[in-house]
Structure 1
Amino acid sequence: MNFETGTFALGEARCPAESTQEIIARDKIPAPEWARSESYRYLGSEDVSKDRYIDPEFQKREFERLWTRTWQMACREEHIPEVGDYYVYDIGPYSFIVTRVAENEIKAHFNACLHRGTKLKPSNTAGSASEIKCPFHGWTWNLDGTNKNIPCQWDFGHVDKERMRLPEAKVETLGGFVFINMDPNAPTLAEYFGPEIMKHFAAWRLEDRYIYLHVQKSYPANWKLTVEAFQEAYHVADTHPQVAPANGDVNSQYDVYGEHVNRFISTLGVVSPNLYGQYSEQDIVDNFTMGDSSALGGAKPQLKEGERARQVMADMFRSMFEQAANTDLSHVSDTELLDTYSYTMFPNLYVFPGISLPMLYRFRPDARDHRRCIYEVMFMRPIPKDGPRPETAEVEILDDDQSFAEAEGMDPGFGKILDQDTDNLYAQQEGLEASAKPGITLANYQEIRIRHFEAAVDKYMAMEPFKPEW
């Protein structure tokens, strides 16, 4: 900082309030190393061109350059636990049958018959089979992709059955996720995410969780706008004012890792710096427990003199989650129980590894309309130590006019928050198309994740078109 002028160098300014790390440092049970780290870097202040959001040709080029070269979460291992189980993953014009071929082997076959191109399995389906058979003429493949049968083989003397193997994408697993990449020369998943993030994944042990609620809805905006709507807490005060009295929004922490991962940490149980002096510690708890839903199970705690709302909430969360999951959480830090840890794994996966809000977001472009995308929310719970493993939730697909709060099992309060973001996205898509300004202007710190994300987009868009091998 230049103390004579009171100005900061670009990228150095922060909210003039206690920082996220200062809040976390006062917790009773300390945070793990991965939560205490910081990794911000200044990436420039130039506007980002709006063409990437409104030009249909830009999305067409993304399908040729970006989606063919990036690691994408196709499903969870729990979706295909047994040999023969499959899960269909669609991304734009591409489609894959992700299949467990053997106990410790998973393949992702391009979902198209090599005869006349018929889709072998319908979109949004999963199941189990001993073979992969085309519904049109009956060409059949083994689970490993080798050709099993060509009806009327006598009429295909010109066809080499060995060559008629189903093409496949690269597959790797991490933390219970199944990732695919169409580029056979792509870096490994560890190289793609980087060593720091691999340490984070190891600490989270997400392979010990399962999806208990999965909701999908189409959004009226470009997929990148939708991804970016959730990459900052700067919008909380005006878009989600109901949560600001118990949420540290503008003093959230933002980090970037390598080229493909970024995150924020947004604290709970503290008042927004925008509202300092307007709410007491009791008010913070009261705000969090009011309304038609409560993460504290309907409890209305009364604070004793000198108690901090954040600590009372952490203690209550710990007790409630221990009972619900029948597990000991005495070793789990307060911040993991309370706070929002949001990681974007480029290009289209969000991981929320905390205890109170263990979720996944996945975003996919609509292949037929650059102004629309598919948005999925998946909620996770720890796998119980005793008893049978719970069933993995099937996806519930909402209509455009349905509220997220209507989804069976969705917390109504959280559903309202998602609906508020939907309204913003519709207005943002139309506003960008109407705007005379050729780009969007970003904050240097609070919106660094957006700049980092778009830098990765630019990296792939600068490459030559890539087509999967045949």
Structure 2
Amino acid sequence: MTIEATRPTLPGDWLDDAELGLSGLDCEAGELSWKITTERYTSPQIAARERDLIWMRTWQVVGRVDELAKAGDWKTYQLFDQSFIIVRGRDDVIRGFVNACRHRGNLLCAQRKGNSRQFLCQYHLWSYDLRGDCRGILRESRAGVDRNDVSLLPVPVDTFGGFIFLNPDPDAKPLAEYLGPEVVELLQPYRMEQFVTVMDVEEALECNWKVVMDAFQEGYHLWGVHPQLLNVIYPDPEKGRYWFLGDHGVATTPFDVPRPASGPDGAQGETFGPEEQVAGIRKLPDTFPAVPLMLPRFEELVAEYRGDDGVLVFPDGVTARTLLQRATRDTLTGMGLDVGELTDNQMTDNQGWVLFPNFFMTVRAGECHIVMPTPHSSGDPNKCVWHVASYMYLSDDLAALAKAEPVVVEEPGSYTYFEALQQDYEQMQRQQAGLRNNRLTHETITREEMVVARFHHVLDRYLTGAES
């Protein structure tokens, strides 16, 4: 899926276009959902409406293209009680089907993944090729069935950015139309299809899927949940930029180490000097796994500004941030990744993407991280399953060493995530416990959580049937 650039500048220059990006203070109060009813997170009736009006009608990421590397590679996707097969055909096309034999409805694929030359029903031995066409019926001459009438039921499947998308609705509009041209244009330059999986974990959580989406769409909770990140990221609604793109959107806060030291009340302290800035960069590997690849070049660049007396002095226009940008561009280019269509800011700054309904991604040059919560198969609104994964651009030799296999956590709490993700894991489940209190009727959203308010505004439209 490709699209021609619609503006003469780099796609990432939207941050400097006053007609496109909003600041956190630009949005009128009446445009978004600033009070959110708590029953949205706890009501079985609302969960049932979400199933019918959202989950059965929207495009959802179900895996990575490289999971289906060879002809015959397949995987299954479970959504509530609905089961789907995604398979790479002999013609190299990835297709989707309802996971049920057209004879008596038996599951064709009972495992999570595999490789097959055909799909054979174990009940009465009907068979289907990788295009979904029926190829064999037991004692066909007596069956009285036309093969052409019993092909597998197709499901819309498409790919973008190395991700596989599926829509349960057979009449769904094309993925490119669902995403919209701006989304495609802005994300293509990252070359995510060339990234390799370095973490891939699924686990059931004791919270609603929207609790997960809400948590990852705002930085207002850093002071309470991730204070260690304030050394390198300082969310500021005036500096943050947001662009709403149909049902989707992107937000970013500048990666701004050289900031005044201050607290959440805005009280100003001393400005971070060069040594403090560099120290902040060196702490990044705790949160961003690709940064260690950039540090050798970064240290070379820093050394150019250290005098014979050992004192580090940055001239005007040079900061640790700009040096990391140079180091990132130099390193990735040297490794073979084309970053020519990315801006300097995209070398360092995470842009947070929401693709409705459940895909949240932070992406910067050379790496991206996703969080995808789905409703629990039981339909219990107080539970969900989250899928967290990280992807990086690596040379072939490093990719072979770093590639991670999927992990499905069966025992709650037995898997330890990296620090910030572990903090979110614990906090989200505490929030769900609070949301279940009967006298708490709604949440109150602040301007610093504008993306959360926007997400629920889109959700409202779906739940009223406006998207049907």
TM bracket, shorter-chain basis: 0.7 to 0.9
Q: Which has the higher helix share?
A: 2
CA distance in structure 1 between the partners assigned to 2:355 and 2:383 by the alignment:
21
Alignment counterpart, residue 371 of structure 1, candidates 374, 382, 386: 382
Q: What is the rounded CA distance, in whole Å, between the counterparts of 1:181 and 1:392 in structure 2?
A: 28
Match of 2:423 among 420, 424, 430: 420
Aligned equivalents of 2:283, 2:467: Cα separation in 1 = 53
Match of 1:168 among 139, 150, 154: 154
Q: Does 1:343 align with 2:353?
A: yes
TM-score with structure 1 setting the length: 0.80
Per-residue CA deviations over 1:358-396 (Å, capped at 9, x if unaligned) read 223222111213222222222222364899988964212
How many Å separate the matches in 2 of 1:51 and 1:119? Answer: 35
Offset of 1:46 from its aligned partner?
4.2
Letter in 2 for 1:358: C
Indicate how the Cα distance of structure 1 residues 316 and 66 shifts in structure 2: closer, same or farther if over 3 A, else same: same
In the comparison of the two structures, how many residue pairs are matched? 424
Is the CA contact (8 Å cut-off) linking 2:350 and 2:364 kept in structure 1?
yes
Q: Are the counterparts in 2 of residues 110 and 168 from structure 1 also a CA contact under 8 Å?
A: yes
Instruction: Describe how 1:250-329 pairs up with structure 2 within 5 A.
Output: 250-251=236-237, 253-270=240-257, 271=259, 274-275=262-263, 276-278=268-270, 280-281=272-273, 282-290=275-283, 293=286, 296-297=291-292, 303-306=312-315, 308-318=319-329, 321=332, 325=335
Aligned ranges 1:101-120 → 2 under 5 Å: 101-120=89-108
1:126-275 aligned at under 5 Å gives the runs 126-153=113-140, 156-157=143-144, 159-251=145-237, 253-270=240-257, 271=259, 274-275=262-263
Describe the shift of the 1:381–1:46 C-alpha distance in structure 2 as closer, same or farther (beyond 3 A).
closer
* 1:319 to partner: Cα distance: 5.0
Query: How far does residue 39 in structure 1 lie from its aligned partner after superposition?
Result: 3.4
Would the aligned equivalents of 2:12 and 2:186 in 1 still touch at CA under 8 Å?
A: no
2:78 paired residue among 70, 87, 90: 90
CA, structure 1 residues 182+209, in 2 after alignment: closer, same or farther (shift >3 Å)? same
Shift of 1:128: 1.8
Question: What CA deviation, in whole Å up to 9, does each residue of 1:12-49 have, x standing for no partner?
Answer: xxxxxxxxxxxxxxxxxx99324545434542354112
For the Cα contact (< 8 Å) 1:247–1:272, is it kept in 2?
A: no
Q: Matches of 1:201 and 1:428 in 2, distance apart?
A: 32
**SS of residue paired to 2:235:** strand
1:221-242: CA deviations, max 9, x gaps? 1111111110011111111001
Q: Which residue number corresponds to residue 39 of structure 1?
A: 21
Change over 3 Å in CA distance of 1:68–1:53 after alignment to 2? same
Equivalent of 1:452 in 439, 451, 454: 454
Inter-partner Cα distance in structure 2 for 1:389 and 1:211: 10
**Structure 2 residue identity aligned to 1:304:** V
Question: Residues 148 and 183 (structure 1 numbering): CA distance in 2 closer, same or farther, change over 3 Å?
Answer: same
Does structure 2 conserve the Cα–Cα contact (< 8 Å) formed by 1:85 and 1:126? yes
Conservation of the 8 A alpha-carbon contact between 1:250 and 1:272: no
- Determine if contact 2:197/2:404 at 8 Å carries over to the other structure: yes
**Residues 49 and 380 from structure 1, CA distance in 2 versus in 1: closer, same or farther, beyond 3 angstroms?**
same
Mark the runs of 5 or more structure 1 residues left unpaired by the alignment. 1-29, 406-414
Q: Is the 8 Å Cα contact of residues 71 and 179 (structure 1) preserved in structure 2?
A: yes
Would the aligned equivalents of 1:269 and 1:284 in 2 still touch at CA under 8 Å?
no
Quote how far apart the aligned CAs of 1:432 are: 0.9
What fraction of aligned residue pairs are identical, expressed as a percent?
A: 24
Match of 2:370 in 1: 360
**Structure 2 Cα separation of the partners of residues 465 and 312 of structure 1:** 46
Match of 2:463 in 1: 461
Structure 1 Cα separation of the partners of residues 241 and 131 of structure 2:
43
Distance (whole Å) between structure 1 residues aligned to residue 11 and residue 180 of structure 2: 22
Q: TM-score, normalised by structure 2?
A: 0.80
8 Å contact kept, 2:261–2:272: no
AA of the residue aligned to 1:33:
D
Is contact 1:249–1:273 with CA below 8 Å preserved after alignment?
Answer: no
Contact 1:244/1:272 (CA < 8 Å) preserved in 2?
no
| Pairs within 5 Å for 1:12-91 | 32-37=12-17, 38-40=20-22, 41-42=27-28, 43-44=31-32, 46-91=34-79
Q: In 2, distance between residues paired with 1:361 and 1:294?
A: 15
Deviation at 1:273, TM superposition (A): 7.0
Q: Distance in 2 between matches of 1:388 and 1:238?
A: 36
Structure 2 unmatched ranges of 5 or more: 1-9, 307-311
Which amino acid is the alignment partner of residue 223 of structure 1?
Answer: W
Q: CA-atom RMSD, angstroms?
A: 3.2
